[in-house]
Structures are given as C-alpha cells and as structure tokens.
Amino acid sequence: MKVKAIYPGTFDPITNGHIDIAKRAAVLFEHVIVAISANPSNKIPRFSLEQRVELANLVLADLNNITVCSFNGLLANFAKQCDVQVIIRGLRAVSDFEYEFQMAGMNRTLIPDIETIFLTPATKYTFISSSLVREIAALGGNVDEFVHPQVSAALRTINKRNLSYCS
Ligand code: COA
C-alpha cells in the first residue's frame, strides 16, 4: 500500500529537528507534504508565511518525495484535501505528549480515517525549539548547530533589520 503523509507545523523557522523528522518520514512514506500553517494556534510567527515556505523548500530541496506547501484553516480539512492517510508529528520529550495527544484525538474525531503517527528525532535535537532558536539569534548567539546555514542567514537578516529600525 502506498501511503502519503502530511507533516504540519508552524516551522518558524524550520530547525534541524524538523528536518530530522521530515527525513525519517520520507523513508517511511511514499510522499510527505510538509504543511506550513498560516494561522497556528496562539502563535504570531516571526517569519512571514512566504519566508517559512521558502526556507523549508531550501533546506528540504534534496529530498525528492517531500513537497512543501502552506495551508489556511483546519489541518483536518487540508489533510483530507491532500488525500493523505497519515499525519506526522514529532515528539521530543514527555512534555510534548499532552498537547500532541489532545491534538491527535481532536483530529481523529474530525477525520477518523487519518491516523496520527509520532516520530522521535535524534537525541541531539530533542531540546531544540524554534522559539529558543529565534531568541538565541535575536540576542546575538550562534545558532549554526541548530538550523541549516540558510536559516541561520535568514535569522541574521531579520535581526539586523530590527536593530537598524531601533537605532
Ligand atoms: N525539532 C525541533 N523542534 C520541534 C520539533 C522537532 N522535531 N518538533 C516540534 N518542535 C518545536 C517547534 O519548533 C515549536 O517550537 P516553538 O513553539 O518553541 O516555536 C514546537 O515544537 C511546536 O511546533 P510545531 O511542530 O511547528 O507545531 P505547532 O504546534 O506550531 O503546529 C499546528 C501546530 C500548526 C499543526 C496546529 O496548530 C494546527 O493544526 N493548526 C491548524 C488549525 C487547526 O487545525 N487547529 C485544530 C488542531 S486539532
């Protein structure tokens, strides 16, 4: 059976941890759609939707069974529209579990024929989050270990723009 999966998130910005999950999913499934939410719950993204899509496309370019796209509104509706059988989510630590369990339950109620499958990243990525990466970069720290060089450059640009605005 050829199974298609969707890997949704905010990806603000995409980190090495996200890339690790996307690569694992690409091995398991025929096709993986990395779906970037335009309106994530309780979040105001630092990067525009277009920038988040562009960065994800750049860093995942060598994986030919992955496509990147954005979506508006409910993930359940978009997953159905894409005709996928699986939703992928990453689990980094026990602290992720409660939120993920709730979201999986909700999505199962909305779209009973789509399964949520959890993948764990390599141990070295379990402490990375996009907000920590953004904070470190904004305060002048080096994030090269946590993100692709193109993402690191984008963070430098966005932070430089902010500093020049303040001075
Ligand atoms: N490596 C590194 N970081 C990871 C990670 C990994 N493997 N997996 C998750 N994270 C981090 C992210 O960086 C992010 O960190 P931050 O909050 O500090 O920035 C956090 O974990 C979770 O982000 P992400 O995986 O991008 O998911 P999300 O929780 O932002 O995305 C949506 C949630 C978009 C999937 C969800 O809100 C959604 O489906 N929205 C559409 C509307 C909808 O359908 N709502 C009803 C849902 S039931």
Q: What is the pLDDT of residues 96-115, one digit of tens each?
A: 999 999 999 999 999 999 99
Report the residue among 129, 133, 146 best suited for mutation to probe ligand 1: largest number of ligand atoms under 8 A from its CB: 129
Tell me how far CA of residue 28 lies from CA of 32, 85, 103, in angstroms: 9, 13, 22
Domain holding 56, by residue range, is: 4-126
Supply the pTM of this predicted model: 0.93
pLDDT-above-90 percentage for the chain: 89
The answer as to whether 147 is a domain residue is no
- CA-nearest residue, atom 1 of ligand 1: 17
Q: Judge if the beta carbon of residue 116 lies within 6 A of ligand 1.
A: no
Examine residue 112 and say whether the peptide bond preceding it is cis (omega within 30 degrees of 0). Answer: no
CB atoms closer than 10 angstroms to residue 80? 14
125 C-beta closer than 6 A to ligand 1? yes
Give a yes or no: residue 162 inside a domain. Answer: no
CATH value at residue 32: 3.40.50.620
For residue 139, the CA-to-ligand 1 centroid distance in Å is 23
Total of domains in the chain: 1
Give tens-digit pLDDT for 132-150.
Answer: 999 999 999 999 999 999 9
Could you tell me the distance, in angstroms and rounded to a whole number, from the CA of residue 10 to the centre of ligand 1?
Answer: 5
Whether 164 has a pLDDT exceeding 70, the answer reads: no
> Could you tell me if residue 107 is inside a domain?
yes
Residue nearest to atom 43 of ligand 1 (CA): 74
> Is residue 140 in some structural domain?
no
Instruction: Evaluate if residue 19 carries a pLDDT over 90.
Output: yes
- Asked whether residue 138 is domain-assigned, the answer is no
Q: Is the CB–ligand 1 distance for residue 9 below 6 Å? A: yes
Residue 42 lies in a domain: yes
- Across the range 43-60, mean pLDDT stands at 96
Annotate 135-163 with three-state secondary structure: HHHHCCCCCCCCCCHHHHHHHHHHHHHHH
